[in-house]
Structure 1
């Protein structure tokens, strides 16, 4: 197997689609989508082979470079690419692979952006160090050999009172009932929850705040057996 084929077999399916189809026909839907894309989010990035990133980088440079020559000299054709995942977990095993085969070197730490002034930069740096120390198990009171109890600073905590859902919604979506029809207001905010049950509970609470009567729309899916009619 030649090196190019071996690299393609290691790629996630969406990346293979862009590489195999996007470069062949610039006028295709996928080619146009690649050109107009502003943001690419790659989850579980540490588990991907470095060839995956290199292949996507080269492909986007080729695709976007046909419309804008400057894109050929920019990483990923000038697209913003966010790598998500646990960058401190065990890296993927590459049979007989060298360090260069496994590790993709990041030249700049983009974990947190810069603040508006020195005070904000210091606060961001302190928060980043605090998060790292939690991951390393360097802070917190030991509960047992595997668990620690960490005290969250008051400045990043919400005072929940008697209704935690109300506190979360009021903090994230102030004046929700007056602004729920404002697309920008909804778009610029989000509540992250650890479990789907929490998501459902918050959704139910926010829906209960909306005016008007509740309506339920039911759907039914069925398989059309065309062979039976032939």
Structure 2
């Protein structure tokens, strides 16, 4: 999700170039995303600042026509996860502490130190050593984390499982 200022700047640029005073000079613009899931990033911003930066607070939002998808294609084969996502998005998932929800037990690995990290990696990348040159295997899997420090730790653990000499390009 981008800051609304980026879209408002694009809108003003179109108006300046073409000289038509309609949102995006009357052109059809398609915005994709789920505002319930991801707010724009405001560096060191408060929750209020992130909400204020959202596209729904843009000057042209009153002219946006919202179309809703009927089926979550990413979780079509996992109805439990699909239901969980809907509950989170609709604010119906019970919170443990303010702004924190409990994940489903099938989505969580109990914390047992570094062993838990290794278990996570092995769960997402089973038999990694036999798939190191398999691009399809790699692009079908991901571990997502909100902090770059965690990404660095996971990358190091995963890369250590690759066989052969290391090459830095």
Regarding TM over 0.5, the answer is yes
State how far apart, in whole Å, the 2-side matches of 1:133 and 1:204 are: 36
SS at structure 1 position matched to 2:137: helix
1:83 corresponds in structure 2 to: 33
Q: Quote the Cα distance in structure 1 between the aligned partners of 2:61 and 2:87.
A: 27
Give the deviation of 1:214 after TM superposition: 3.1
Residue 191 of structure 1: CA displacement? 1.5
The answer to whether the 8 A contact 1:160-1:168 is kept is no
Give the CA deviation at 1:115: 2.9
Equivalents in 2 of 1:44, 1:213: separation in Å?
A: 40
Cα drift, residue 129 of structure 1? 1.4
- Asked which structure has the greater RCO (Cα within 8 Å, sep 6+), the reply is 2
Which structure 2 residue ranges, 5 or more long, are not aligned?
15-22, 41-49
Structure 1 residue 180 and structure 2 residue 132: aligned?
A: yes
Q: Point out the more displaced range, 149-158 or 177-186.
A: 149-158
Residue 106 of structure 1 is aligned with which of 66, 69, 81? 66
Task: Tell me the residue number matched to 1:44.
Answer: 2
For the residues of structure 2 that align with 1:158 and 1:56, how far apart are their CA atoms? 50
Give secondary structure in 1 for the equivalent of 2:91: helix
- Structure 1 unaligned residues grouped into runs of 5+: 1-42, 59-74, 218-230
After TM superposition, the structure 1 = structure 2 runs for residues 81-160 of structure 1, keeping only pairs within 5 Å, are 82-83=32-33, 85-86=38-39, 89-90=51-52, 91=54, 101-103=60-62, 104-109=64-69, 112-113=72-73, 115=76, 120=79, 124-133=82-91, 139-142=94-97, 147=98, 149-159=100-110
TM-score by length of 2: 0.60
Matches of 2:145 and 2:116, distance apart in 1: 13
Q: Which secondary structure state, in structure 2, belongs to the residue aligned with residue 83 of structure 1?
A: coil
* TM-score in terms of structure 1 length: 0.46
Q: CA deviation at 1:156?
A: 1.7
Alpha-carbon distance change, 126 to 201 in structure 1, aligned in 2, over 3 angstroms: closer
Shift of 1:181: 0.5
Q: How many residues align?
A: 140
The alignment partner of 1:206 has SS state of helix
- What's 2:47 paired with? none
Q: Per-residue deviation at 1:128? A: 1.1
Return the offset for 1:109: 4.0
d(CA) in 2 for partners of 1:56 and 1:161?
56
Q: Displacement of 1:183 after TM fit?
A: 1.1
